[in-house]
């Protein structure tokens, strides 16, 4: 049915429905007018029905008396000053609690002023959002749970003897536990300068951190951290990416464990081992030189009579000898040459700087 057809066929109904007083009284929201001191001037039937009070009963009550005590405090401390300063207030959540009535509402108000600008009255609409508020209460509960979890994490992170930190996926540090703040004597906003990391170790860390951020892989590193008091200590830094259920990287969890004593002990052992090795090398080198000297000396000592023997064999070779003697001399010469080569090899290998003992 068109609008025109409805009006023509139901003129009485149309007048009733659009009658402003009917709309005021039966609108699906509450209307209330009250004085600056809270005295109620008028409410519509919808609101009176919600409160389970007659209009006359309501007029004996002050506006803030309809609210919860906390709501009344909030009205006096926040909303009332705003109405004075701005002339309106929007979407304020109030609970109206009276007798058996307990409804959550959205309260929108404008002030009515006289020519001097003095507030004469406040007109407000009230929308029942009780059901929606239950859902919001669940959301609020979840928000508080998340906040409580955050506080628990902070408590836990402050109770462990480590420096604990978290970073956003881009590497920006967004949390340092109290132990870290106290140890470094810095504010969180200064954390991203990495000034706590010892200057010499900073490039190594920056490179490793950048690689981890790029590849989303964990970082493990031993480095030195300079405390706010100037104390330099070794730490084992561990950072691991946390991925949410969808596999998206949400946060980096990092810790720095003090390994100063172990590290210094290890370094001491390393230095001790290095010294031992150095001594061993010196001993070996000394022995080697002596060996070379001995080998050289002995080789020369042996080679000298051999050279005499070989010279005498050459002289014999120039003499006329019986055939069987010539044959024996030849065999003797071969053996002398072989012995000569052997001695030369000893001399050569003894003087080899890489490995004088190798064959």
Structural contact between residues 176 and 193, judged by C-beta atoms closer than 8 angstroms: no
CB 292 within 8 A of CB 304: no
Q: Which of 2, 37, 244, 319 binds other proteins (CB under 8 A)?
A: 37
Please tell me whether residue 326 adopts helix, strand or coil conformation.
helix
Pick the piece of the chain touching other proteins (CB under 8 A) from 36-44, 152-160, 206-214, 253-261. Answer: 36-44
> What is the CB neighbour count within 10 angstroms for residue 186?
16
- In the complex with other proteins, which residue's Cβ is closer, 86 or 290? 86
Site string for other proteins, 121-140 (x = CB under 8 A): ---------------x---x
Q: Which is nearer to other proteins, 119 or 346 (CB)?
A: 119
Query: Whose Cβ is closer to other proteins: residue 81's or residue 228's?
Result: 81
Q: Which stretch binds other proteins (CB under 8 A): 91-99, 163-171, 267-275, 293-301?
A: 91-99
Cα-based torsion angle of the residue sequence 201, 202, 205, 206 in order, rounded to the nearest 10 degrees = -160
Residue 346 interacting with other proteins (CB under 8 A): no
Q: Which stretch binds other proteins (CB under 8 A): 50-58, 83-91, 308-316, 323-331?
A: 83-91
Position among 8, 16, 57, 76 found at the interface with other proteins (CB under 8 A): 76
The neighbour count for residue 43, using CB atoms within 10 Å, is 25
d(CA 250, CA 170): 10
DSSP assignment letter at 67: B
Rg of the chain on CA atoms, in Å: 50
Secondary structure, 3-state, 229-242 = CCCEEEEEEEEEEE
Number of helices (H) and strands (E) in the chain: give both, helices first: 13, 10
Among 74, 153, 194, 253, binds other proteins (CB under 8 A): 74
The residue among 36 and 356 lying less far from other proteins, judged by its C-beta, is 36
Beta carbon nearer to other proteins, 12 or 117: 117
Which residues here bind other proteins, judged by CB under 8 A?
Answer: 36-38, 64, 68-74, 76-82, 84-87, 89-94, 119, 136, 140
């Amino acid at each position: 049915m068109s609008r025109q057809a409805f009006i023509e066929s139901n003129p009485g109904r149309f007048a009733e429905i659009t009658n402003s007083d009917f709309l005021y009284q039966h609108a699906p929201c509450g209307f209330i007018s009250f004085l600056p001191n809270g005295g109620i001037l008028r409410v519509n039937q919808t609101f009176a029905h919600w409160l389970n009070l007659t209009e006359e009963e309501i007029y004996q009550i002050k506006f803030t008396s309809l609210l919860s005590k906390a709501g009344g405090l909030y009205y006096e401390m926040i909303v009332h000053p705003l109405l004075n300063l701005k002339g309106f207030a929007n979407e304020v959540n109030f609970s109206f609690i009276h007798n058996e009535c307990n409804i959550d509402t959205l309260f929108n108000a404008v002030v009515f002023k006289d020519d001097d600008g003095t507030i004469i009255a406040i007109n407000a609409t009230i929308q029942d959002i009780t059901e929606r508020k239950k859902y919001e209460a669940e959301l609020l509960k979840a928000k508080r749970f998340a906040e409580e979890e955050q506080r628990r994490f902070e408590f836990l992170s402050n109770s462990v003897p480590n420096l604990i930190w978290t970073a956003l996926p881009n590497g920006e540090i967004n949390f340092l536990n109290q132990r870290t703040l106290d140890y470094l004597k810095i504010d969180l906003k200064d954390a991203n300068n990495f000034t706590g990391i010892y200057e010499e170790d900073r490039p190594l860390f920056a490179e490793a951190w950048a690689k981890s951020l790029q590849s989303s892989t964990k970082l493990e590193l031993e480095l030195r951290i300079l405390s706010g008091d100037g104390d330099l200590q070794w730490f084992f830094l561990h950072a691991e990416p946390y991925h949410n259920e969808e596999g998206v990287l949400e946060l980096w969890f990092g810790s720095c464990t003090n390994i100063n004593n172990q590290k210094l002990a290890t370094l001491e052992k390393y230095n001790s081992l290095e010294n031992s090795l150095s001594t061993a090398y010196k001993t070996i080198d000394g022995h080697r030189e002596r060996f070379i000297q001995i080998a050289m000396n002995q080789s020369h000592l042996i080679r000298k009579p051999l050279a005499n023997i070989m010279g005498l064999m050459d002289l014999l070779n120039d003499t006329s000898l019986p055939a069987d003697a010539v044959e024996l001399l030849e065999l003797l010469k071969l053996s002398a040459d072989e012995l000569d080569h052997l001695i030369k090899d000893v001399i050569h290998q003894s003087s080899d700087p890489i490995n004088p003992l190798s064959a």
